[in-house]
Amino acid sequence: TLSDRLTATFKNLRSKGRLSEADIDATVREIRRALLDADVAVSVVRAFTGKVRERALSEEVSGALNPAQQVVKIVNDELVAVLGGEQRPLLFAKTPPTVILLAGLQGAGKTTLAGKLARHLREQGHTPLLVAADLQRPNAVTQLQVVGERAGVPVFAPHPGAQESSEGGVVVAPAADPVAVAREGLATAQARQHDVLIVDTAGRLGVDAEMMQQAADIRDAVRPDEVLFVIDAMIGQDAVATAQAFADGVGFTGVVLSKLDGDARGGAALSVASVTGRPILFASTGEKLTDFEVFHPDRMASRILDMGDVLSLIEQAEKAFDARQAEEMADKLASGEGFTLEDFLVQMQGLRQMGSMKKMLTMMPGMGQMREAIENFDEREVDRIEAIIRSMTPAERRNPKIINGSRRSRIARGSGTTATDINQLLERFTAAQKMMKQMSRGGGVPGMPGLGN
Ligand code: GDP
Ligand code: MG
């Protein structure tokens, strides 16, 4: 699996700085294979991996991840983004009924989805009405009626009861106009105050102009708030052409991926989303009415990559890294060693910036020692402290204990101060260091260290 192959790659790669092109190419190659295995359209794979490679080349290496892991994280992030990022809910009309039109090839799963969606909405307190505007297939109307009954949702159909007759084994569909049925369905929903109308339409095995025109005519008759394009997740490489044909012929606001319960890794999701830029709203995962889910881009990304385990490893690595850093910092502070004169200087410089806010801060209640510190704040003092610290060698800054008499006079000369000034600074620093130690033990913030007497 991709997981195994990448885990093997991870073992060999460990480097600092920028990701090397070789690292990236090796990983991108595996990703490309995984996407093709998941039946993502070739053109989509090419565009996608190109984008990933570009981003990986320009990205800093994170401390937590090795290069291969980092590329995988980029791939995952990009996948989630192309799949729509956030979960996109159904959009309801300001004035009901909300009209939802289903479009897609024959066998895509529209009628099944109509029932699932109706049930889902009913459970959420809506009062949907289903409309059977597929008069193409002999059994289409009865199929929707069966589905509606199971969902506990009424169905508007051209001829209530049996609308089909059999003559010599040939099933003859009643001659009726699907556009008129859809229009009457809408009028019925308005009259009976259904707040959602779900219109099931006909499809063909392949895309053809007549079918497209019919769907477009129904669309014009009911002016849908959402047109959902239902596509079989197993469709594979045809996904792009089919989605494009429906995007051009009818147009759609969202996608439903059906038959995700099968072997399909869901590459069609990426193909359709990337070619049409439309979000995927729902997934159909079986023949039962309850086999239905709102679509989550992040979960689908893991499924397409077939490496949820690798992704969770990456997540753990990042978390562990953050925790380790925090722990190291706490250790440093607890021992008092971590807080150096450099840190002290940074703190002083921060205070200098705060000096300009002196007035505002002194007006704030409850500032306690902090207020006192700021009131007594003298900018020139910070200048002096800065000059002294700048005149020290790095070794002296790291470990002020080595500052003896001769070092002291050198620093005083360099900073235009006196040996007393230096002693005072070092005393303050020691006090500040002690305070940092207390703070890191959970003693709270004991005022601003290093200031005041
Ligand atoms: P339509 O022609 O687009 O209306 O498609 P249908 O709703 O009639 O579905 C075609 C076939 O696919 C039927 O046999 C359904 O039971 C089946 N089907 C629909 N959705 C799913 C699904 O999510 N999973 C599985 N396994 N079968 C499905
Ligand atoms: Mg159907």
The number of beta carbons lying within 10 Å of the beta carbon of residue 243 is 25
Is residue 378 marked as binding? no
Say if ligand 1 is within 6 A of residue 107 CB.
yes
Asked whether residue 417 carries a pLDDT value surpassing 60, the answer given is yes
- Which segments within 56-214 are labelled E, that is strand? 98-103, 128-133, 155-156, 165-167, 170-172, 196-201
Residue 337 reports pLDDT greater than 90: no
Please compute the mean of the pLDDT values over residues 418-427 and round it to a whole number.
92
Mean pLDDT, the chain, as a whole number? Answer: 81
DSSP-based three-state secondary structure for 26: helix
Per the model's pLDDT, the better-predicted residue between 177 and 350 turns out to be 177
Ligand-binding annotation for 261, yes or no, is: yes
Counting ligand 1 atoms within 8 A of each CB, the residue from 106, 110, 112, 143 with the most, and so the one to mutate, is 112
Query: Which pLDDT band holds residue 363 (cuts at 50, 70, 90)?
Result: very low
Q: Is a pLDDT exceeding 80 seen at residue 245?
A: yes
CA dist 390 and 342 (Å) reads: 9
Number of CB atoms found within 10 A of residue 157's CB: 23
284 touches ligand 1 (CB under 6 Å): yes
pLDDT on residue 9: 59
Supply the pLDDT for residue 12: 53
Residue 93 Cα, ligand 1 centroid: separation in angstroms?
A: 28
Atom of ligand 1 nearest to the CA of 262: 26
**Residue 299: closest CA among 445, 15, 36, 84:** 84
| Domain 98-163+172-295, CATH | 3.40.50.300
198: left (phi over 0), alpha (psi -120 to 50) or beta: beta
**pLDDT recorded at residue 431:** 82
Token reading at 441:
């033990």
| Predicted pLDDT of residue 326 | 65
> Under 8 Å CB-to-CB from 140, ≥6 apart: which residues?
111, 132, 134, 200, 202
**Residue located nearest, by CA, to atom 12 of ligand 1:** 109
Between 425 and 446, the more confident residue is 425
Q: Is the CB of 158 under 6 A from ligand 1?
A: no
> In the predicted model, is pLDDT for residue 232 greater than 70?
yes
Tens digits of residue pLDDT in 107-147: 999 999 999 999 999 999 999 999 999 988 878 999 999 99
pLDDT reported for residue 453: 34
260 has binding-site annotation: yes
Locate 8 and state its tokens.
């093997």
The dihedral built from the CA positions of residue 119, 120, 123 and 126, taken in this order, carries a sign that is negative
Check if 106 has its Cβ closer than 6 Å to any atom of ligand 1: yes
Residue 108 alpha carbon, nearest atom of ligand 1: 3
7 labeled binding residue: no
Q: Is the pLDDT of residue 282 over 80?
A: yes
User: Please, which pLDDT band fits residue 399 given cuts at 50, 70 and 90?
Assistant: confident
| CA 318/CA 313 separation, integer angstroms | 9
pLDDT (tens digit per residue) in 8-28 = 655 555 444 456 788 788 888
The C-alpha angle with vertex 169 and arms to 164 and 173, in degrees rounded to 5, equals 25
Question: What pLDDT, on a 0 to 100 scale, did the predictor assign at position 100?
Answer: 98
The answer, yes or no, to whether any atom of ligand 1 lies below 6 A from the CB of 115, is no
* 196 vs 324, higher pLDDT: 196
CA of 82 to the centre of ligand 2 (A): 29
Q: Half-sphere exposure of residue 451, counting CA atoms within 13 Å on the CB side? A: 24
Q: What is the CATH number of domain 336-443?
A: 1.10.260.30
Q: Are 319 and 126 in contact (CB under 8 A)?
A: no
Which of 54-68, 92-106, 119-133, 152-166 is the least confident region?
152-166
The answer to the question of whether 136 is labelled as a binding residue is no
Surface-to-core class of residue 320, CB atoms within 10 Å of its CB (0-12 exposed, 13-18 middle, 19+ buried): exposed
**Beta strand extents in 249-370 (DSSP E only):** 254-258, 280-284, 292-294
Q: Does ligand 1 lie within 6 Å of residue 258's CB atom? A: yes
Spelled out in words, what is the top-level CATH class assigned to the domain 2-85+309-320? mainly alpha
Q: What are phi and psi of 293, to 5 degrees?
A: -140, 150
Q: Please list, in sequence order, all residues whose beta carbon lies within 8 angstroms of the beta carbon of residue 426, skipping any fewer than 6 positions away.
A: 400, 403
Measured at the CA of 87, the angle between CA 84 and CA 91, to 5 degrees, comes to 100
- For 209-221, the pLDDT digits (tens) are 888 999 999 999 9
- Ligand 1 atom at minimum distance from 112 CA: 7
Per-residue pLDDT band at 353 (split at 50, 70, 90): low
Max Cα distance, the chain (Å)? 116
pLDDT tens digit string along 163-184?
444 443 323 334 478 999 999 9
Percentage of residues in the chain having pLDDT higher than 70: 72
- The predicted structure's pLDDT at residue 10: 53
- 110 belongs to an annotated ligand binding site: yes
How far does residue 193's CA lie from ligand 2's centre (Å)?
25
Out of 232, 287, 293, give the residue to mutate to test ligand 1, the one with the largest number of ligand atoms within 8 Å of its CB: 287
The residue extents of the domains of the chain are 2-85+309-320, 98-163+172-295, 336-443
How many angstroms separate the alpha carbon of residue 139 from the centre of ligand 2? 9
Q: Is the CB of 110 under 6 A from ligand 1?
A: yes
For residue 281, pLDDT beyond 80: yes
Contact 451, 349 (CB under 8 A): no
Q: Is the shortest distance between the CB of 287 and ligand 1 below 6 Å?
A: yes
Q: Which residues pair with 226 in a beta bridge?
A: 100
Q: Is residue 120 lining ligand 1, measured as CB closer than 6 Å?
A: no
Q: Is the pLDDT of residue 89 over 50?
A: yes
Compute, in angstroms, the gap from residue 143 CA to the centroid of ligand 2. 8
The reply to whether 2-85+309-320 and 336-443 are identical in fold is no
Least confident interval from 47-56, 404-413, 431-440? 431-440
Q: How far apart are CA 238 and CA 248, in angstroms?
A: 16
Ligand 1 pocket test target in 155, 258, 285, 295 with most atoms within 8 Å of CB: 258
pLDDT value of position 65:
72
Q: Judge whether 202 is annotated as a binding position.
A: yes
- Given a cut of 70, whether residue 4 has pLDDT beyond it is no
- In this predicted structure, what is the pLDDT of residue 151? 96
Mapped onto helix, strand or coil, the DSSP state of residue 198 is strand
Convert the pLDDT of each residue in 263-272 to its tens digit. Answer: 777 888 999 9
pLDDT band for position 307 (cuts 50, 70, 90): low
Look at 69 and 376; give whichever has higher pLDDT.
Answer: 69
